[in-house]
Amino acid sequence: MTATNKYTFNSLFWVLIFISSLGLSFVSQAAITVIKADALVDVQNSKIVNNPIVIIENNVIQYVGKQGSKTLPEEASFIDLSGHTLLPGLMDMHVHLTSDANIHGYRRLKVSTPRSAITGVKNARATLMSGFTTVRNVGAPGYADVALRDAINDGDIIGPRMYVSGPSIGVTGGHCDNNLLPFEYKATSEGVADGPWAVRAKVRQNIKYGADVIKFCATGGVLSKGTKVGAQQFSFEEMQALITEAHLRGLTVAAHAHGTDGIKNAIRAGVDSVEHASFLDKEAIALAKEMGTYLSMDIYVTEYILGEGEKAGILEESLAKERTVGKRQRASFTNAHLAGVNMIFGSDAGVYPHGDNARQLSRMVRFGMSAMEVIQAATLHPADLLGKSNLLGSIDTGKIADIIAVKGDVMNDLTLLEHIPVVIKDGIIVKHEK
Ligand code: ARG
């Protein structure tokens, strides 16, 4: 080494030491936030804690206890939420952020994938601002949901923590296909596959392009043209192939299923959650219980479809289907809950406006749950379904600081959650209305 080289090496060394010492001082100056409130909903122990404090370091909850139970760190910043009740950030396990509630039926044909991603930017914000800090997006054309999730994670836009499926997988002409146009247009949705190996290939493709979860259509649906809502679509063999493939790769599977046979076969094939689950009978309920399958039942959306659907472009045949499905689904919800089946909150927002997700909470009480059970279905249980119980779903030490706050007696009136003034995601206050 020549003298000059040595000199350069030495100064570089000191510059590096200087930079790393700067880095270290950033790390040691962790941002500590102390929140004080009137009450906290402890979903883990099904109880209310009065006069709580929560200490957050960066984005992680470090301490939860009663006020006065701990000397508070001097360097902390304080958020005084007196008059408020703290709850874990809400979690919706069935949304379509890239869909617009005003664009249904044939109107959907003019929406490109890039346009749907931009719609998603708006809806992601609305969803987060309404107190939903985590969502599972089950079905989006063109992997627009993957792009949206990544943009949120990269900090380019704000929105909830997203777990996404990419395109839904389904049979030719089924609920997950596009059946709006005649044959010569050759319109087929990306997730269409027939036969066990073709179905496995779609699972692999979705994983390749970024899916966290697999969504498939086990039966017909309400909003698809020409499908019988009660009829099974994939064969049992196809469902088994799809679910085996997804599980092999470490992903969970959500099945759209209204009809009884489709629900039962999806459960028998090992699906993790059944979406809609409208026509449950005793055997289906017993199977779900035995297998520990989660039911994600969108019991509010009926009100929107029958009230606003026609204006939004929903086809008459879909409105007709909804008139029978909605009633049966609510009865099924009551029965499944009574039997002790695992229930999670799933709204199908996107069919109705994003940001109105919480309207379903009070309906879940109306159809049989206690307020605590509803809140658990929208916090604790989704975290379990996502395999994230160690990080999400409750306000507890070691979990990520996703916290909301509301005023008033929320346990006696879940409609208070329809307007949430304080939202904290990942330790950052994203909304604080005084
Ligand atoms: N996306 C669902 C479908 O088209 C919506 C079902 C809405 N109706 C209901 N009662 N949950 O089938």
* Nearest-atom index, ligand 1, CA of 321: 8
Last residue of a domain, one of 357, 377, 409: 357
Distance 73 CA to ligand 1 centre (A): 50
Same domain, 304 and 175: yes
Average pLDDT, the chain: 94
- Nearest CA, atom 10, ligand 1: 326
Question: What order do you get walking across the sheet with 273-276 strand by strand?
Answer: 213-217, 252-257, 273-276, 294-296, 342-344
Number of domain units in the chain:
2
Q: State the CATH number of the domain containing residue 69.
A: 2.30.40.10
Same domain, 420 and 347: no
pLDDT digit string (tens) for 19-36? 444 444 444 457 999 999
- Nearest CA, atom 5, ligand 1: 222
State which of 177, 233, 258, 276 you would mutate to test the pocket of ligand 1, scoring each by most atoms of that ligand within 8 A of its C-beta. 276
Same domain, 327 and 399: no
Query: What three-state secondary structure class fits 3?
Result: helix
Same domain, 80 and 145: no
Distance 190 CA to ligand 1 centre (A): 21
Same domain, 72 and 116: no
Same domain, 398 and 323: no
Does residue 371 lie within any of the structural domains? no
* Nearest-atom index, ligand 1, CA of 318: 4
- Stretch 110-121: mean pLDDT: 98
pLDDT band at residue 434 using 50, 70 and 90 as cut-offs:
confident
Distance 379 CA to ligand 1 centre (A): 22
Distance 203 CA to ligand 1 centre (A): 23
- Nearest CA, atom 8, ligand 1: 302
* Nearest-atom index, ligand 1, CA of 258: 12
Does residue 370 lie within any of the structural domains? no
pLDDT digit string (tens) for 365-402? 999 999 999 999 999 999 999 999 999 999 999 999 99
Does residue 5 lie within any of the structural domains? no
Same domain, 426 and 343: no
Instruction: Name the amino acid, one letter, at 253.
Output: V
Please, are residues 87 and 344 in contact by the beta-carbon 8 Å criterion?
A: no
Same domain, 42 and 79: yes
Distance 301 CA to ligand 1 centre (A): 7
- The residue to which tokens 């499905």 are assigned: 325
- Domain hosting 242: range is 90-357
CB atoms within 10 A of CB 127: 28
Same domain, 226 and 280: yes
State which of 301, 303, 321, 367 you would mutate to test the pocket of ligand 1, scoring each by most atoms of that ligand within 8 A of its C-beta. 301
pLDDT digit string (tens) for 60-74? 999 999 999 999 888
Does residue 286 lie within any of the structural domains? yes
Beta bridge partners of 95: 137, 349
Q: What is the pLDDT at residue 29? A: 57
Instruction: Name the amino acid, one letter, at 91.
Output: M
Q: What is the pLDDT at residue 380? A: 98
Does residue 36 lie within any of the structural domains? yes
Residues with a CB atom less than 6 Å from ligand 1 = 221-223, 276, 298, 301-302, 322, 325-326, 329, 348, 351
- Stretch 234-241: mean pLDDT: 98
Query: Cα separation of 261 and 379, whole Å?
Result: 30
Q: What is the pLDDT at residue 433? A: 95
Does residue 11 lie within any of the structural domains? no
Last residue of a domain, one of 336, 357, 378: 357
Same domain, 101 and 128: yes
pLDDT band at residue 153 using 50, 70 and 90 as cut-offs:
very high
pTM over 0.75: yes
Q: Exposed, middle or buried: residue 236 (CB in 10 Å: 0-12, 13-18, 19+)?
A: middle
Distance 214 CA to ligand 1 centre (A): 18
Q: State the CATH number of the domain containing residue 234.
A: 3.20.20.140
Query: What three-state secondary structure class fits 287?
Result: helix
- Pairing relationship of beta strands 422-425 and 403-407 according to DSSP bridges: antiparallel
Does residue 401 lie within any of the structural domains? yes
Distance 138 CA to ligand 1 centre (A): 13
Would the pLDDT of 2 be above 50? Answer: no
pLDDT digit string (tens) for 253-305? 999 999 999 999 999 999 999 999 999 999 999 999 999 999 999 999 999 99
Q: What is the pLDDT at residue 91? A: 99
pLDDT above 90 covers what percent of the chain? 91
Last residue of a domain, one of 357, 382, 416: 357
Same domain, 250 and 189: yes
* Nearest-atom index, ligand 1, CA of 276: 11
State which of 104, 258, 324 you would mutate to test the pocket of ligand 1, scoring each by most atoms of that ligand within 8 A of its C-beta. 258
Same domain, 106 and 232: yes
Does residue 343 lie within any of the structural domains? yes
Please, are residues 259 and 229 in contact by the beta-carbon 8 Å criterion?
A: yes
